Chains A and B, each alone.
Chain A
Amino acid sequence: MAADKKTKLLARQLFKLSFANGQISADQVSGVLGWVNKNSPRQPLSLLKIYQRLVATELARSQAVVAHAGPLGAGVIAQIEKAMTTKYGRPVTATAAPDSSLLAGIRVRVGDDVYESSAASQLASLSV
């Protein structure tokens, strides 16, 4: 069942309450979930799904997922973390994620932005 306007509005309000010092706080999120459990608002499933999506999107903005095909050199993760923190003006944590489908090179995802430098994407652009 699609969420109605009130449920969407409530989800956004709960999302705003999940911040502490400008970042998503685990304690705040626990508090929100406890409130939902206690008060049983309308359309709880839709509310929680929207809330989850908002929190996940916000968390993704502060995480750089570095997908790589071969071995990563020492310090590459730290370099990417520093570069992304500077670029976005907020703390960004980089994590490595091996992905052999890239063939070679890396792909860095920060939220919706993807920095592509992999052989697979180059081959894909050749085929277009």
Chain B
Amino acid sequence: MSNVIEQIEQQIAKLSTKAVKKNTGHIRTVADGVAKVDGLSDVMYNEMVQFPGGIIGIALNLEQDEVGCVILGDVSNLKEGDEVTTTGKLLSVPVGRALLGRVVDALGNPIDGKGPVAATETYPVEKIAPGVMARKSVNQPLFTGIMAIDSMIPIGRGQRELIIGDRGTGKTTICLDTIINQARINKVGIASGDKNFRPVYSIYVAIGQKQSNVVRTISALEAADALQFTIVVAATAGDNPANQYIAPFSGAALGEWFMENGMDALIVYDDLSKHAVAYRQISLILKRPSGREAYPGDVFYLHSRLLERSARLEGKGSLTALPVIETQAGDVSAYIPTNVISITDGQIFLETDLFNQGIRPAVSVGLSVSRVGSSAQIKVTKQVGGKLKGELAQFRELAAFAQFGSDLDAKTKATLDRGARIVELFKQPQLNPLAIEVQASILWTLQKGYFDSIEVKNIVGASISLREYLITRKDALLATIRAKAALAPEIETDLKAAADEWKSGFVAK
């Protein structure tokens, strides 16, 4: 009991008896998640303001007679006349390793029922992006584990690569595969004891999604044992538009902590189309002038200032961004998609037609690009995957002639055969990322013609068979490829021996 008394006495002693100055106002109207406040004469733009009941808002409209504040919380208990106080602070979120494995809301409050987050630092949600001189060029790979992407549209650490496509084309799946692959690589790297190994921590920001989708995502990450390296920031469709607006910036703050402390992080914004819609709603309620498609005039700046915070820093770490945009009927020339395409360092375009044909991931190789390119590829991938894009481009051009079958010349037929096999080989089940050494081995086998004698309809089965063979019987060879990251002559000799052994035992089902 004396300890309890001591605790209370210590708390009382900490209280300051000085007068505290606050700047206040009163709510004039509150509707649709926005409060119009009288007073607040000293408030600054983007300042955090305090409503009764511990509810937080941000001052976004500083007008002559009133201040428009978006409310980040439950508005049902607020009413006209309630006092609002400035805090003198920008909105901040808790950051640090303590958030790994947790699911938090847009303000960093845990929503997974696992207790409070033991974070010791906070970072501001809105922050100016690093300057030009603070950056370093992107030349370290970030492996997604998806063969079609790692070989032809490689992503580097610090890059922003847009994932764009219609609904149901596999955008979120690509993001989850990437996160799961980082977790897999992290576990292997940490277990190896390599001091130079740099793990990649992931942040998944769910904006405006159904809660059932978020639950499914978390379950998939848990099942793959990837959640321990991941932070999930959830601002679902039922949350205030203000929370949905803030969530990506909160996620960026979480990622910046890793970047500023010499670590590498990956952030997925799923998706920025819903983010733009939430911002449009807030802007319209704040009576800001609307422009094209009723979006406010600064919707480009909304995304550019978010994505510019992803970078590779000199002497520090990196933050790679995978923003997701949903198109309507494949229209990549719409307003928000073109905005984000112009901001990012490349895009992965997913097509509904390819998806429906069974080509999954439904990556359109022709429209997809990585502006970082082979700078972000290790040597082995360049060696085996360098020609793939060209071969597929030729295949697409000649695909219309495939129906003529035996009337084609040998070269055209060879191009069509090779292209069809590449397309089959790139099919990959979801939530099943491949290690880069396995990808390189499979592509080497393709380039050396081991798949030429296998019928196109059996290529998928052959690829699975080869994959299982390599993982179960040639683990040492894979480890060598992983360590050396290049195909030396002796490695090629071992690969040939392995491929011959596999091919001799392979029977198409």
Contacts and interface: CB of A to CB of B under 8 A. Distances in A.
Contacts of A115: 19-21
A57 B20 contact: no
Contact of B22 (A12, A54, A114): A114
Given A53-B65, A116-B22, A111 B38 contact: no
Contacts of B154: none
Contacts of B21: 113-116
A113 B15 contact: no
A62 to B, nearest CB: 14
Interface stretch (B39-47, B94-102, B299-307): B39-47
Nearest to B15: A122
A113 B20 contact: no
Nearest to A107: B19
A112 B42 contact: yes
Contact of B39 (A112, A116, A121, A128): A112
A8 B54 CA distance: 33
B65 A8 contact: yes
Given A53-B38, A126-B15, A113 B65 contact: no
B65 to A, nearest CB: 7
A116 B54 contact: no
B17 interface: yes
A106 to B, nearest CB: 8
Contacts of B24: 109, 112-114
Contact of A117 (B19, B42, B54): B19
Contacts of A116: 19-22
Contacts of B20: 115-117, 121
A15 to B, nearest CB: 10
A50 interface: yes
A102 to B, nearest CB: 13
Interface in A24-58: 50, 53-54, 57
Nearest to B39: A112
A126 B21 CA distance: 17
A115 B17 CA distance: 12
A57 B39 contact: yes
Nearest to B20: A116
A128 B347 CA distance: 45
Contacts of B38: 53, 57
Contacts of A128: 54
Interface string B10-49: 0100010111111111000000000000111110000000
Interface string B295-338: 00000000000000000000000000000000000000000000
Contacts of A109: 24
A121 B20 CA distance: 10
Contacts of A117: 17-20
A53 B54 CA distance: 27
A115 B19 CA distance: 6
A88 B80 CA distance: 29
A45 to B, nearest CB: 16
B22 A113 contact: yes
Nearest to A56: B38
Given A8-B65, A115-B20, A126-B15, 18 more contacts: A53-B65, A57-B38, A57-B39, A108-B19, A111-B39, A111-B41, A112-B24, A112-B39, A113-B22, A113-B23, A113-B24, A114-B22, A115-B19, A116-B19, A117-B17, A117-B20, A126-B11, A128-B54
25 contacts: A53-B65, A109-B24, A111-B39, A112-B23, A112-B24, A112-B39, A112-B40, A112-B41, A113-B21, A113-B24, A113-B41, A113-B42, A114-B23, A114-B24, A115-B19, A115-B21, A116-B20, A116-B21, A116-B22, A117-B17, A117-B20, A121-B20, A125-B15, A126-B15, A128-B54
Interface of B: 11, 15, 17-25, 38-42, 54, 64-65, 85
The 7 closest A-B pairs by CB, nearest first: A117-B19, A112-B39, A112-B41, A115-B19, A114-B22, A116-B20, A122-B15
